[in-house]
Structure 1
Amino acid sequence: MNYTDDIPVSRVELQISCNKLLNMDFASYSDPFCVLYMTGPDGNAFHEKARTETIKDTLNPSFVTSFEIDYYFEKIQRLRFAVYDSDSSKRDLEYHDFLGDMECNLSEIVSQTVLTRPLGPVKNKTNTGIITVRCEEVIACKEAFTMEFHGRDLNSKGLFSSSSPFLEITKSTVNEDEQHVAIYRTEPVKNTSKPSWPSFRLKAQKLCNGDFDRPLKFNIYNWKSSGKHSLFGSFTATVRDLKRGPTTDNIFPVIDEKKAHKKSYSNSGTVCLVNFREEVEYSFIDFIQGGLQVHLSVAVDFTQSNGDPAQSDSLHYHTSTRHSQYAYAIEAVGSIIQDYDSQKQFIGTGFGAKMPDGTVSHCFNLSMTSDPTSHSVGQLLQQYYECLMKIKLYGPTNFAPTINALASSVRQNLNGHYYILLIVTDGVITDMAQTKSAIVSASGLPISIIIVGVGSANFSAMNELDSDDVKLTSGGRTAERDIVQFVPFRECQIQSQNCPGTFKAILAKEVLAEVPEQITGYMRSRGIKPGQR
């Protein structure tokens, strides 16, 4: 059985919490986040899978962001959990302090349900804290819930300070140990005892894993800049309770359990449900089976930094038996997307080249004609190779013209289709400000942008565009959603080096991993249901 044939036994959700972490900050506490690494198909080298959110000023974080992983009974799936103190807005981990790590097999977590272990030593310090990983099988759910809560009379916990309440939702664990895991936190509403927290949306799987009678605990805290948030109190409810909507039954007294025994104590305020809406969470498959067409547009970097295509060290170099790195990326993505486009039409463009007439173009057709389309991956690759013979590599590396050209075309033809722009490049963007602006403008359109970085350049700036944690901004505007995925070509090479024949599958998986969620997110934001145009 090869890499692409394996069928998971199940999909599991891993929830992470830590205790007694190292304090790496002098004026406050550490700002921890956790990075999950998994071994590739070779079973040896670790590769980053995902990250949690960062929690400010705490040594005992309970992360809301969980990790979902396919579980294979017959495989050894080695995991590494590394905890860092966030010290920069940069994604590169060298800018953050390492707080310790823990390695284990996924099967250990699955079999024990709850796995608690010490973190490894850091700089000769052995007592670096404890990490707990909780595991639960993911149950397929199509429901999602939008809800809104308001608080009343949540009075300040201090004599000389005002209240800044925030709401935390936790769900009971499956192993009946009377523990809860955090699944959502609002932002604090500053300086008020009557907070109106903004509405939020949670999938049924995340909220209760499909069990509408599962106990949920709502904790209300008074936010403190020091990280030492004080608890106003809590209340419990189930999804079945909340589905009744904003009734008197869903006005909840906030109870501080430490005061509950006092005769003079009634509550620490109230929280009322003011809105609750249930929706169907349509999947990517629902939209595809409803007739959604997905179209691929490719943009190739023809700047000088790629090297002379006639020389073997060029990223554009190819022979009759060897593709260039650009062609590998185009083929890997195109071979997947072609099955979702009944017309099998691909648009091929290039940028950063000197054209036969001596002009420099930052967006031109690979066909070198007015018609940018091709009707197969093979024809698209042929256009790319023939284009190399007609143009000269030049520069600079500008993305914005290509993004704006596709966005303009899509705006004129909003027909219920979805578009993927694959940009293959070897270098650092020279029009970063314009590219950010173009992405923010395109974020409200049915577009995903995939950037594959080939070669050995420093691509750290690309992570600014792949805004998984914070939405991209430009000129005071904020992107409606994250539409960019960046993948370094060389990381896929490393993952596949001990398993010949798996490279293209690994590249395609990494490149296209976020597209289904981006598509469903766009359709949901526009209220589009499967089959609608």
Structure 2
Amino acid sequence: MLTTTGANNNNNNNNTPGVVGNRFIETGRTEVIRNSRSPDWTVKVPVDYRFNELQVLRFEVWDYDICADNELLGRLDLDLGQLITARDDVIKKRLRLPSVQPTVHQLSSNSSSSSSGSNNNNNNNNNNELQAYSKLMVTGELWITIYEVLASKQTVQMKFEAKTLPQKDFLGSSDPYMIITKESPDGQHQLEVYRSETIHKTLAPVWSEFTVRVHDLCDCDHYRRLRISVYDWDRHTSDDFIGAVNTSLNELNKQFITGGLSVLELRRHPNLNSNNKSPKGQKKGGQSSAASATDKSSKRKSLLLKSLHKLQSLDIHNNHNNNNDNNCGLLLISKLHYRQVPTFVDYIGSGGTQLHFMAAIDCTSDSQPFHHRLLHTSAAATSSATAATTATDNKLTVVDQSVNCFEFLLNSFGQLLQPYDYQGLFAVFGFGARFAGQPTVSHAFNLRLGVGGGQQSVVPYCDSVDDMRRCYRASLKSMIPSSSSNSANTGRPFAPVINHVVQLTKNFQNGRHYFVFTILTSGCHTDTADTLEAIVRASAMPVSIVIVGVGNCPFNHLKRLSGDSTCSRGCRTYRDNVQFFQLKNYQTSTHILESRLTNTILQTIPKQMLEYMESRNFVPKNTSLV
């Protein structure tokens, strides 16, 4: 009998593999195969995968005995990320036996007990936990097959336009934009799925076509209610509501198949109860009922098209003064196209795409206090914060007293990304300093150069996250910081180090590599125009840029870099691949909310990687798009 357990880092969800206090809970159990030393279990164990969390699974094989306690035959602890990135169809791992064997009753009691006491483990503790079994006796080999279970890999490409919208602006026009929302699981509120661009000074906008995953749009339920709302953008006041319509993907698809166009009436107060019934709620009626439904749909479409021509012939002034629900305009869907696309797991799993971690650290004079100020906490503060852990779902991490905030961030991000990089292409850079014997300040230098006594290293990459921290520590001893003021050869420019990383990624544009580049800084950049140009170039490369602000600087300029509207001398970014976060938003006086920090910062990396792969038409090998 095989049992699968996972440690839980969310107190509100006991089915989530993660890490907390060395406590594991059971997530699945196979059937018992009798009288066999090479069992082949058929029961599948589902596990929720989250890229932005460290998820440790424990596999245990037990000998079932009716008359006595079950006996533990072997155990295996493994990170879920390592399973997903394994290049073999069948993962073979050795089972080991701990020195003290628990009984099955002890396993059950540990699984059902609540997670109490201290919750002060970080990623280093988890690695020690995984390494603990390497010295134990080998008792067998466990073969694991892992695959993704997903309701749909479909995307839908849509294009919206509107006709005869009412006037909302003083000069007789509107600035409309559109929002698509879906009902929350509890049905109490709406969740935004897509927001279009704003078309200025028009009553007949044609928005750009867009692509959205069916899973994100309606959770793969084509009968789930969707609300499409149209608003008028205002610069100085709140946006005006124009109208909305409640529909479903099934309704849109039926109209589109019938006439090649979906026409919807915008209303001020759309009827929430006029929902389309799912197949389970449909009455059994033979061909006559099906034909009747088709006739009604055709008649409805004909009436809508007639109303379109009628509304176009009406005087705009009369439409503006009439507040009737029927005078909010029409919404047209001119394109509705489905396509099968690969998922993030397809790329990093069978596709073999690696994620590489790179970081650049601010070495200017303003950042020096953060290089030498160690993160620490007192015992009294630790106990009080531990008590508060039970009241929140955020993991409070007591930071190692021997590291500073830069080392902590390197370790937090690196440990999550390390399982996805089997080649070991880690790199750590610095900017805003020079080494002894160098005449000028550099704003893009490899920190391995500090290890070699001021000489450029032959190999620019580090072997692991620990090697990144070692190179950073060694470089501090011979580093001479520059002023962060905006003057000649000084300042804090971001463009040189971004361009340096872009140059490195030019050699990895085959769909098998993707980079996560993190800039750790204590202040804003001083080269706005050059940084924007560098970001535009980076948006076409296989890289995501994450900027983390350390300290209490306002960081106003950095907040503007995050978003897909970044322009540089008339050029727009190809995709949104820049994010900014401030460390103090994830800190208390004694702790760092490490779990919330990494979850928030890394949660958009899969989406950004998929956008790049789709823009280059890279399809992972050995992937079934079903």
Give the drift of 1:509.
3.0
Pairing partner for 1:399 from 494, 516, 521:
494
**Distance change >3 Å, CA 159–CA 410, structure 1 → 2:** closer
Alpha-carbon distance in structure 2 between the residues aligned to 1:146 and 1:496: 48
- Let me know the Cα RMSD of the aligned residues: 4.3
Asked if 2 retains the 8 angstrom alpha-carbon contact of 1:349 and 1:372, the reply is: no
1:286 and 2:346 matched: yes
Matching of residues 322-471 of structure 1 within 5 Å: 322-359=402-439, 360-368=441-449, 369-370=456-457, 371-395=459-483, 396-416=491-511, 417-467=513-563, 471=565
Deviation by residue 1:141-164 (Cα, 9 ceiling, x = unmatched): 533211123455668799994677
Matches within 5 A, 1:80-119: none
Distance 1:328 1:247, change over 3 A: same
Matched, 1:479 2:573: yes
Distance 1:507 1:245, change over 3 A: same
Aligned counterparts of 2:528 and 2:479: Cα–Cα separation in 1:
25
**Cα pair 1:243 1:276 within 8 Å, conserved:** no
Query: Relative to structure 2, which stretch is displaced further, 194-203 or 479-488?
Result: 194-203
SS in 2 for 1:374: coil
Structure 2 counterparts to residues 194-233 of structure 1, below 5 A? 195-216=205-226
Q: Does 1:522 align with 2:612?
A: yes
Deviation at 1:466, TM superposition (A): 2.3
- The alpha-carbon deviation at position 8 of structure 1 amounts to 3.2
Amino acid at match of 1:482: D
Q: Distance in 1 between matches of 2:266 and 2:443?
A: 62
Question: Displacement of 1:447 after TM fit?
Answer: 0.6
1:142-221 alignment, distance < 5 Å: 142-151=153-162, 161=172, 169=180, 184=194, 186-187=196-197, 189=199, 195-216=205-226
Contact 2:178 2:229 in 1 (8 A): yes
State the Cα distance separating 1:446 from its structure 2 match.
Answer: 0.9
Structure 2 distance, partners of 1:364, 1:182, is 42
| Partner-residue secondary structure (3-state), 2:361 | strand
On the 8 A contact 1:165/1:192 being kept in 2, the answer is yes
The code of the aligned residue for 2:476 comes to L
CA displacement, residues 368-401 of structure 1 (integer Å, 9 cap, x when unaligned): 1233211122222211111112221224322211
Residues 231 and 239 in structure 2, CA contact (< 8 A), matched pair in contact too:
no
Shift of residue 300, structure 1, vs aligned partner: 1.9
Cα distance in 2 for partners of 1:142, 1:171 equals 19
State the alpha-carbon separation in 2 of the partners of residues 525 and 169 from structure 1. Answer: 23
- Say if 1:511 and 1:310 are closer, same or farther in 2 by CA, change over 3 A: closer
How far apart, in 2, do the equivalents of 1:313 and 1:158 lie? 56
Deviations 1:472-499 (A, max 9, x none): 22222222222222233333332872xx
Any conservation in 2 of the 1:496–1:503 contact (CA below 8 Å)? no
In structure 2, distance between residues paired with 1:522 and 1:149: 24
**How far apart in 2 are the matches of 1:398 and 1:365?**
16
- The residue that corresponds to 1:489 in the other structure is 583
Distance across 1 between alignment mates of 2:434 and 2:477 = 12
Per-residue Cα deviation, 1:73-123 (whole angstroms, up to 9, x for no partner): x99xxxxxxxxxxxxxxxxxxxxxxxxxxxxxxxxxxxxxxxxxxxxxxxx
In the other structure, the counterpart of 2:133 is none
SS in 2 for 1:471: coil
1:297 and 1:422 in contact (8 A); partners too: yes
Distance 1:312 1:419, change over 3 A: closer
Structure 1's 224 and 415: CA in aligned 2 closer, same or farther, altered over 3 A?
closer
Cα separation, 1, equivalents of 2:413 and 2:426: 11
Aligned residue in 1 for 2:259? 248
**SS of the counterpart of 1:267?**
helix
User: Partners of 2:597 and 2:358 in 1: how far apart?
Assistant: 17
SS at match of 2:523: coil
Q: C-alpha separation between the residues in 2 aligned to 1:313 and 1:228?
A: 47
Counterpart of 1:4? 9
Output the CA distance in 1 between the equivalents of 2:200 and 2:401.
Answer: 64
Rounded to whole Å, the distance in 1 between the matches of 2:162 and 2:424 is 54
Question: Which is further off, 330-339 or 517-526?
Answer: 517-526
Query: TM-score when scaled to structure 1?
Result: 0.61
Amino acid aligned to 1:302: C
C-alpha offsets along residues 339-386 of structure 1, whole Å, 9 cap, x if unaligned? Answer: 110112311221111222232111112121233211122222211111
Given the two structures, how large is their TM-score scaled by the length of structure 2? 0.53
Q: Distance in 2 between matches of 1:188 and 1:219?
A: 13
Query: Match of 2:220, as an amino acid?
Result: G
Looking at structure 1, the residues matched to 368 and 502 of structure 2 have their Cα atoms a distance apart, in angstroms, of 30
Q: Whole-Å Cα distance in 1 between the matches of residues 553 and 375 of structure 2?
A: 13
* 1:275 lines up with 2:335 in the alignment: yes
Structure 1 residue matching 2:335: 3-state secondary structure: strand
Which of the two has greater strand per residue? 1
Q: Name the aligned partner's letter for residue 354 of structure 2.
A: Q
Name the CA shift for 1:272/1:435 in 2 (closer, same or farther; >3 Å): closer
Kindly tell me: are residues 410 and 192 of structure 1, through their superposed partners in 2, closer, same or farther at Cα, counting changes over 3 Å?
Answer: same
Question: What residue in structure 2 maps to residue 84 of structure 1?
Answer: none
Stretches of structure 1 that go unaligned for 5 or more consecutive residues are 12-73, 76-138, 259-263
Aligned position for 2:361: 300
**Residues 356 and 530 of structure 1, relative CA distance in 2, 3 Å threshold:** same
Deviates more, 1:417-426 or 1:208-217: 208-217
Shift of 1:528: 2.4
Structure 2 stretches of 5 or more lacking a match?
1-5, 17-113, 116-149, 270-302, 312-329, 377-399, 450-455, 484-490
What SS does the corresponding residue of 2:403 show, helix, strand or coil? coil
The answer on whether the counterparts of 2:374 and 2:404 sit within 8 Å (CA) in structure 1 is no
Contact 2:362–2:431, Cα closer than 8 Å, also in 1: yes
> Sequence identity, in percent?
28
Moved more, 225-234 or 444-453: 225-234
Per residue, is there more helix in 1 or in 2? Answer: 2
**CA spacing shift, 1:511–1:496, aligned 2, 3 Å:** farther
Over 3 Å counting, the alpha-carbon distance change for 1:240 and 1:429 in structure 2 is same
Secondary structure, counterpart of 2:565 in structure 1: coil
Structure-to-structure mapping, 1:18-167, within 5 angstroms: 141-151=152-162, 161=172
The structure-2 alpha-carbon separation of the partners of 1:7 and 1:197, relative to structure 1 and needing over 3 Å to count, comes to: same
